[in-house]
């Protein structure tokens, strides 16, 4: 009988069949005792024909549910659209003094990860210790993963460090968590430690490491990982290829990204196309990005919202105003409807071209309420073209929306400063203080001989700080002979002119470039990654440096790449 029921359960192809079996077990009196009961629950909760409300209905008919019965429901809910319900069932199980096992904890932790429920995960963690399950490697890996996904990277690191035995999934969870949690230095350090301890990276490992390289602009390390990927034939995986393309693009080597794209042995998917289009967009080659958008369609891959956004960004960064407007118009007529990011890109495109009224009209034509980013974009364009009236209007909208972004206040303050309206500058600064608005510190990274160096505005903590500052003094002297004048009108007015120049002279990207000049051979390109948008003064100074010192200097700021060569920038001063 038991064998026959097992066979029938395996053949269930619909909820109707499941209900027939459940009715049979109930009418024969076998439901409370039959070993197939849990399998029936699992079918209701986990199979392609799952019906969680019906699974819960069956469960409530059980007089003394076993741990496996509870686990079937908790697991089903953890995988559903309502993972918090799994946590509630787990708590009910504890209150009723039912025996929890390692699987119960594992399913509940997965629910915590999906619901980003850190507090609940910490409670489960304490119960794991109390129940004596901490020696279970798979459970510890799940626990590490939930800490990483909920943003508690210190908690994830602590679990990792306390594990007596680790497997590849433990390592991968922490490397990925650190990379995704904006701690790429730690991710790369852990990746190197993993290899030193004899572990062989797999697809998941290299994805985490490539993400870290992308954030840091660590080209040499990324190139080494790419060589490993090719040697181990991990490039048969399209997701890995996409990550390699993205890494090269974000490190400023779009030609290498395109080479990987062209030489892929696996079939390109829409993410592949979107990644390479955005690569050319970030590097200011708008025509190539638009060409790839056309080729994508010819390859049978229909552009999605991301494709259009990448192409609009390409038009934006290359100053292709009419092309961008036409692309947006064609999108409006397509099956892909624009979202707020597409509107934002067009507003930015028009704003950069000085067409502020058109940008403002686009915002007002939106079918949804404009978000803060759109008004910030218009505010930035108003600053570029000195349109105080439009800036005040955009700033007023941001205040209405409750924005406390430092950038909003700084932009408006700079607009007033450029007009020498010092009373208004003071009013903006006072508002910043009253609202406790904090300025985001600028920092930059650069890689020299495989080692990453971090610089903060005005920082003197680098081991070569004395030489760096001496080089900056030399640069300041030499560029003045070429006609450089500091953009001091963007610095606070209540300090002296010399102090204003010093404040500009010690921005993080200038410190990084100076270090590049003293630590690399003549003719070697210098590459810098910056967390904020490069300021106008730094942009001017680095153009001079590229000419005087005959160096190609590549700066990736938060929006795009700037390639400085022979006194010119690839952005053509359009950024």
Domain that holds residue 534: 446-569
Which pLDDT does position 6 carry in this prediction?
Answer: 59
Which pLDDT does position 482 carry in this prediction?
Answer: 87
Antiparallel, parallel or unpaired: β 526-530 and 553-556: parallel
Phi-psi region of 94 (alpha: psi -120 to 50; beta: other; left: phi over 0): alpha
535's enclosing H/E stretch is none
Residue 240 contacts residue 205 (beta carbons within 8 Å): no
Q: If you ran DSSP here, which 8-state letter would residue 520 be given?
A: S
Handedness of CA 138, 140, 142, 148 (dihedral sign): negative
Nearest to 403 by CA among 424, 385, 421, 376: 376
How many Å apart are CA 358 and CA 351, to the nearest integer?
8
How many Å apart are CA 176 and CA 205, to the nearest integer?
7
pLDDT band at residue 323 using 50, 70 and 90 as cut-offs: very high
CA atoms within 13 A on the CB side of 26: 12
Q: With the CA atoms of 305, 310, 316 and 319 taken in that order, what torsion angle do they form, in degrees rounded to the nearest 10?
A: -120
How many Å apart are CA 513 and CA 418, to the nearest integer?
27
> pLDDT tens digits for 468-479?
999 999 999 999
> pLDDT tens digits for 54-103?
888 888 888 888 898 899 899 989 998 889 999 999 999 999 877 899 99
**Does the structure show a pLDDT above 90 at 120?**
yes
Which pLDDT does position 217 carry in this prediction?
Answer: 84
pLDDT band at residue 14 using 50, 70 and 90 as cut-offs: low
What values do phi and psi take at 117, rounded to 5?
-95, 80
Number of helices (H) and strands (E) in the chain: give both, helices first: 30, 6
User: Is 511 within the bounds of a domain?
Assistant: yes
Q: Which residue has the higher pLDDT, 491 or 506?
A: 506
Mean pLDDT of 352-367: 92
368, burial (CB in 10 Å: exposed 0-12, middle 13-18, buried 19+): exposed
How many Å apart are CA 84 and CA 71, to the nearest integer?
15
What values do phi and psi take at 451, rounded to 5?
-110, 135
Mean pLDDT of 456-485: 91
User: Is 37 within the bounds of a domain?
Assistant: no
Looking at every residue in the chain, the average pLDDT score rounds to: 86
> pLDDT tens digits for 525-558?
999 999 888 888 899 999 999 999 999 999 988 8
- What SS3 state is found at 526? strand
**Does the structure show a pLDDT above 70 at 351?**
yes
Residue 235 contacts residue 205 (beta carbons within 8 Å): no
- The first and second tokens of residue 513, run together, are 């470039």
User: Is 483 within the bounds of a domain?
Assistant: yes
**Does the structure show a pLDDT above 70 at 21?**
no
Say how many C-beta atoms besides its own lie within 10 A of residue 408's C-beta: 23
pLDDT band at residue 328 using 50, 70 and 90 as cut-offs: very high
pLDDT band at residue 252 using 50, 70 and 90 as cut-offs: confident
- What SS3 state is found at 453? strand
Instruction: Please tell me the least confidently modeled range out of 109-113, 182-186, 500-504.
Output: 500-504
Which pLDDT does position 2 carry in this prediction?
Answer: 46
> pLDDT tens digits for 160-173?
998 888 889 989 99
Q: What percent of the chain has pLDDT over 90?
A: 53
Place of tokens 């680095």: 542
How many Å apart are CA 129 and CA 356, to the nearest integer?
61
- What SS3 state is found at 527? strand
Mean pLDDT of 1-8: 53
Residue 39 makes CB contacts below 8 A (sequence gap 6+) with 6, 9
**Does the structure show a pLDDT above 70 at 302?**
yes
231, burial (CB in 10 Å: exposed 0-12, middle 13-18, buried 19+): exposed
Instruction: Classify each residue of 379-397 as buried b or exposed e, where b means 16 or more C-beta atoms within 10 Å of its C-beta.
Output: bbbbbeeebbebbbebbeb
Which pLDDT does position 496 carry in this prediction?
Answer: 44
Nearest to 193 by CA among 175, 216, 217: 175
What values do phi and psi take at 391, rounded to 5?
-65, -45
User: Is 512 within the bounds of a domain?
Assistant: yes
Mean pLDDT of 207-211: 97
User: Is 195 within the bounds of a domain?
Assistant: no
The residue count for the chain: 575
pLDDT band at residue 221 using 50, 70 and 90 as cut-offs: very high
SS (H, E, C) 111-145: HHHHHCCHHHHHHHHHHHHHHCCCCCHHHHHHHHH
Q: What percent of the chain has pLDDT over 70?
A: 88
pTM of the model: 0.77
User: Is 501 within the bounds of a domain?
Assistant: yes
User: Is 241 within the bounds of a domain?
Assistant: no
Domain count within the chain: 1
Mean pLDDT of 140-163: 92
Place of tokens 């990379």: 179
Instruction: Please tell me the least confidently modeled range out of 104-118, 413-427, 481-495.
Output: 481-495
Instruction: Please tell me the least confidently modeled range out of 207-211, 426-430, 476-480.
Output: 426-430
How many Å apart are CA 275 and CA 294, to the nearest integer?
15
pLDDT band at residue 502 using 50, 70 and 90 as cut-offs: low
Say how many C-beta atoms besides its own lie within 10 A of residue 354's C-beta: 14
User: Is 392 within the bounds of a domain?
Assistant: no
Q: Which residue has the higher pLDDT, 38 or 222?
A: 222
Instruction: Please tell me the least confidently modeled range out of 38-52, 93-107, 293-307, 416-430.
Output: 38-52
Q: If you ran DSSP here, which 8-state letter would residue 235 be given?
A: G
- The first and second tokens of residue 570, run together, are 């690839």
Handedness of CA 103, 106, 108, 110 (dihedral sign): negative
**Does the structure show a pLDDT above 50 at 3?**
no
How many Å apart are CA 84 and CA 490, to the nearest integer?
50
């Amino acid at each position: 009988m038991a064998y026959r029921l097992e066979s029938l359960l395996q053949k269930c192809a619909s909820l109707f069949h499941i209900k027939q079996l459940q009715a049979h077990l109930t009418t024969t009196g076998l439901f409370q005792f039959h070993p197939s009961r849990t399998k029936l629950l699992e079918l209701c909760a986990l199979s392609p024909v799952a019906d969680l409300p019906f699974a819960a209905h069956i469960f409530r008919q059980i007089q003394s549910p076993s741990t496996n019965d509870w686990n079937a429901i908790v697991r089903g809910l953890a995988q559903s659209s309502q993972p918090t319900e799994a946590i509630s069932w787990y708590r009910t199980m504890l209150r009723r003094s039912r025996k929890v096992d390692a699987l119960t904890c594992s399913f509940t932790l997965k629910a915590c990860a999906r619901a980003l429920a850190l507090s609940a995960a910490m409670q489960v963690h304490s119960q794991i210790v109390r129940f004596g399950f901490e020696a279970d490697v798979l459970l510890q890996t799940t626990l590490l993963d939930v800490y990483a996904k909920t943003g508690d990277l210190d908690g994830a690191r602590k679990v990792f460090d306390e594990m007596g035995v680790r497997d590849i999934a433990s390592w991968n969870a922490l490397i990925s968590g650190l990379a995704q949690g904006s701690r790429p230095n730690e991710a790369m350090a852990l990746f190197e430690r993993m290899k030193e301890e004899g572990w062989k990276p797999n697809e998941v490992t290299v994805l985490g490491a490539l993400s870290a390289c992308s954030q840091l602009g660590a080209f040499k390390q990324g190139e080494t990982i790419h060589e490993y990927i090719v040697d181990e034939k991990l490039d048969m995986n399209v997701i890995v290829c996409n990550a390699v393309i993205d890494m090269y693009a974000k490190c400023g080597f779009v030609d290498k990204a395109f080479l990987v794209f062209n030489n892929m042995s696996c079939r390109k998917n829409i993410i592949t196309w979107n990644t390479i289009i955005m690569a050319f967009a970030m590097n200011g080659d708008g025509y190539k990005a638009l060409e790839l958008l056309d080729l994508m369609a010819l390859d049978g891959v229909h552009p999605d919202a991301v494709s259009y956004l990448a192409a609009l960004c390409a038009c934006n960064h290359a100053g292709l105003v009419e092309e961008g407007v036409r692309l947006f118009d064609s999108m409006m007529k397509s099956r892909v409807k624009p979202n707020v990011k597409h509107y934002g890109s067009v507003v930015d495109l028009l704003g950069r071209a000085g067409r502020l009224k058109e940008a403002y009209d686009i915002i007002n034509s939106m079918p949804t309420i404009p978000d803060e980013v759109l008004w910030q974009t218009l505010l930035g364009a108003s600053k570029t073209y000195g349109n105080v009236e439009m800036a005040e209007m955009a700033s007023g909208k941001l205040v209405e929306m409750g924005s406390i972004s430092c950038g909003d206040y700084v932009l408006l303050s700079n607009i007033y400063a450029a007009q020498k309206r010092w009373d208004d500058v003071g009013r903006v600064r006072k508002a910043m203080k009253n609202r406790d608005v904090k300025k985001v510190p600028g920092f930059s990274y650069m890689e020299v001989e495989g080692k990453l160096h971090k610089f903060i505005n005005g920082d003197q903590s680098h081991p070569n700080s004395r030489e760096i500052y001496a080089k900056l003094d030399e640069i300041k002297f030499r560029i003045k002979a070429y006609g450089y004048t500091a953009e001091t009108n963007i610095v606070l007015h209540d300090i002296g002119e010399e102090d204003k120049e010093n404040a500009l002279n010690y921005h993080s990207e200038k410190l990084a470039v100076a270090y590049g000049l003293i630590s690399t051979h003549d003719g070697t390109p210098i590459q810098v990654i910056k967390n904020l948008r490069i300021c106008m003064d730094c942009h001017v100074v680095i153009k001079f440096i590229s000419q005087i010192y005959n160096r190609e200097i590549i700066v990736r700021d938060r929006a795009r790449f700037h390639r400085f060569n022979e006194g010119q920038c690839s952005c053509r001063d359009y950024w």
